């Protein structure tokens, strides 16, 4: 069967666009979770029509199809857990149109996030979502995971910029949702349903984006604190003070040490935690916003410093983006959760998570998009050490329990994939799960598109 499938794929797409070489299959077998599942074949379509052919063939042969962008996901979304075809979007990487009159962009799914950002910025336009992975993650992957980033505090997440999607359904039918309009209330909002669908409902072949004018000026401020909790209190106070920064990023001592070692950047002197805050707006407004934010941070016990110029601001943001790979060097295994709590609950969440370090005897490093209440909780462990691994599993469950108790959610941006599926019932009721499974069946009755994900099987 496998041989026949490969032959048919070769005929449809040309030999150069498929591979079964073991060394290639290995490259498409993992993502940022470091879990590993070897696909049967990897396919590289260049056009929506080729995706249609692939989906038709998969339907006939009943073979799983796994859409894949850059493979930078943190929950195993692009992994072929049931074998089948990994369909990479790396040859679908063109920006097709930037419409400066309507402030929209039309792109193929394999375009790298940062490339769209830079291209529109050169025209004075702004694509705000900025996951820390923006130099390598793809827009298709961002849509499938509804990626967030530091700027979500003021500008929202990927979903807030998707106007429409062209997608191929299991079976090979192509549909289009949304259009180049600002308002659209005709029928259920399928565009918003597809965003965050983790490759389980449809294969995106084109994405239509909403753009904004580029903000005239920005300013960056560092606030240093003597505890994680105090930094959390400052975040809650900033939000309460009615100032809306572009970004409020939290970094704890463990992350500061890691980034110093990895990237050679000292961000926080002796501080136990810091906030990296950005504001934007008209030139004359920015200093006033910085002043107000500094005042609130000082009132909650912080010391503050404004970045003297763009170069310093950029260095700080680069260091912020290096945290995730920096932490990965600390222990053999990093369990990276991305919980969200109401922002007023941040101080309690951070204090209770800190207490788990001692309880389980494992380092727990926290950083992330505190302005959204979204904290990356990194439990440092070793998968090969059964005792440490068992402790880490217990710690994860307790982190989730604390989060839900405080009115939060298990994931703010990384999605469910395979790693969070075992915990879904902590948050979603059986009836809600049934509704989600019903939606999956309506799109994919044979369960061929990215099976084994999101607890839907
Ligand atoms: C260092 C680092 C920092 C990160 N920082 C952030 C961050 O700040 N914010 C954040 O949100 N995430 C972050 N991530 C996670 C990750 O980069 C995002 O989830 C990103 O959106 C994944 O994009 P990708 O192209 O790598 O997708 P992949 O990992 O390849 O796939 C992710 C999911 O998208 C699906 N998919 C991909 N393309 C398509 C398509 N064309 N049609 C349908 N489904 C598709 C896949 O099946 C899979 O389910 C980070 C990751 C790393 C390694």
Q: How far apart are CA 392 and CA 207, in angstroms?
A: 39
Mean of per-residue pLDDT scores for the chain: 95
Residues 225 and 362 in one domain: yes
Check pocket membership of 144 for ligand 1, CB cut-off 6 A. Answer: yes
Residues 115 and 68 in one domain: no
Q: What is the pLDDT of residues 96-131, one digit of tens each?
A: 999 999 999 999 999 999 999 999 999 999 999 999
147 CA closest ligand 1 atom index: 11
Check pocket membership of 149 for ligand 1, CB cut-off 6 A. Answer: yes
Residue 362 CA, chain-centre distance (Å), reads: 25
Check pocket membership of 170 for ligand 1, CB cut-off 6 A. Answer: no
Alpha carbon of 10 to those of 20, 22, 26, 432, 440: distances in Å? Answer: 11, 17, 20, 42, 30
Check pocket membership of 130 for ligand 1, CB cut-off 6 A. Answer: no
Going from the Cα of 387 to the center of ligand 1, the distance in angstroms, rounded, reads 31
CA atoms within 13 Å, Cβ hemisphere of 254 = 21
Q: Whose CA is nearest to atom 5 of ligand 1?
A: 132
Domain boundary among the residues 188, 213, 238 is at 213
Residues 253 and 150 in one domain: no
Residues 44 and 116 in one domain: no
pLDDT at 1 over 60: no
Residue 74's pLDDT is what? 94
Going from the Cα of 75 to the center of ligand 1, the distance in angstroms, rounded, reads 9
Residues 193 and 224 in one domain: no
Residue 40 lies in domain: 2-88
* Structural domain includes residue 446: no
Q: What is the pLDDT of residues 310-346, one digit of tens each?
A: 999 998 888 888 898 899 888 999 999 999 999 999 9
The residue-averaged pLDDT of 428-455 equals 98
Q: How many domains does the chain have?
A: 3
Q: What is the pLDDT of residues 355-376, one digit of tens each?
A: 999 999 999 999 999 999 999 9
Residues 223 and 269 in one domain: yes
Q: Whose CA is nearest to atom 34 of ligand 1?
A: 141
Q: What is the CATH number of the domain that holds 163?
A: 3.30.465.10
Residues 291 and 393 in one domain: yes
Going from the Cα of 143 to the center of ligand 1, the distance in angstroms, rounded, reads 8
Print burial letters for 148-182: b (CB count within 10 Å at least 16), e (below 16): bbbbbbbbebbbebbbbbbbbbbbbebeebbeeee
77 CA closest ligand 1 atom index: 49
Going from the Cα of 271 to the center of ligand 1, the distance in angstroms, rounded, reads 32
Q: Is 172 left (phi over 0), alpha (psi -120 to 50) or beta?
A: left
């Amino acid at each position: 069967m496998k041989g026949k499938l490969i032959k048919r794929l070769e005929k449809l797409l040309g030999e150069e666009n498929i591979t079964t070489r073991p060394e290639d299959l290995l490259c498409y077998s993992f993502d940022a979770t470091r879990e590993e599942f070897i696909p049967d074949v990897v396919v590289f379509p260049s056009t929506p029509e080729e995706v249609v052919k692939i989906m038709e063939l998969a339907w006939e042969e009943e073979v799983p199809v796994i859409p894949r962008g850059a493979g930078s996901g943190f929950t195993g979304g692009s992994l072929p857990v049931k074998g089948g075809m990994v369909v990479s979007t790396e040859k679908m990487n063109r920006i097709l149109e930037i419409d400066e009159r309507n402030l929209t962009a039309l792109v193929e799914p394999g375009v790298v996030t940062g490339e769209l950002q830079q291209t529109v910025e050169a025209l004075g336009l702004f694509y705000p979502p900025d996951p820390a992975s923006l130099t390598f993650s793809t827009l298709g992957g961002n849509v499938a995971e509804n990626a967030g980033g530091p700027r979500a505090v003021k500008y929202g997440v990927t979903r807030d910029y998707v106007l429409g999607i062209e997608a191929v359904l299991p079976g090979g039918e192509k549909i289009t949702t949304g259009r180049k309009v600002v308002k659209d209330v005709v029928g259920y909002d399928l565009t918003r349903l597809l965003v965050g669908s983790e490759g389980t409902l449809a294969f995106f072949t084109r994405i239509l984006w909403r753009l904004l004018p580029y903000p005239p000026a920005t300013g960056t401020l560092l606030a240093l604190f003597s505890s994680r909790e105090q930094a959390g209190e400052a975040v809650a106070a900033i939000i309460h003070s009615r100032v809306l920064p572009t970004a409020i990023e939290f970094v704890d001592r463990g992350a500061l040490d890691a980034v110093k070692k990895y990237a050679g950047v000292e961000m926080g002197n002796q501080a136990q935690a810091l906030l990296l805050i950005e504001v934007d707006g008209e030139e004359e407004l920015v200093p006033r916003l910085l002043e107000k934010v500094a005042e609130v941070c000082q009132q909650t016990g912080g010391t503050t410093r404004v970045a003297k110029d763009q170069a310093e601001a950029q260095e700080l943001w680069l260091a912020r983006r290096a945290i995730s790979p920096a932490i990965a060097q600390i222990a053999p295994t990093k369990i990276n959760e991305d919980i969200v709590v109401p922002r007023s609950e941040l101080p309690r969440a951070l204090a209770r998570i800190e207490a788990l370090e001692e309880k389980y005897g494992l380092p727990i490093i926290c950083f992330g998009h505190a302005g959204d209440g979204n904290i990356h909780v990194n439990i440092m462990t070793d998968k090969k050490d059964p005792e440490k691994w068992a402790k880490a599993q217990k710690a994860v469950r307790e982190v989730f329990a604390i989060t839900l108790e405080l009115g939060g959610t298990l994931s703010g941006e990384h999605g469910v994939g395979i790693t969070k599926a075992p915990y879904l019932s902590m948050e979603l009721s059986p009836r809600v799960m049934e509704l989600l499974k019903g939606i999956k069946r309506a799109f994919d009755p044979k369960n061929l598109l990215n099976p084994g994900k999101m607890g839907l099987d």
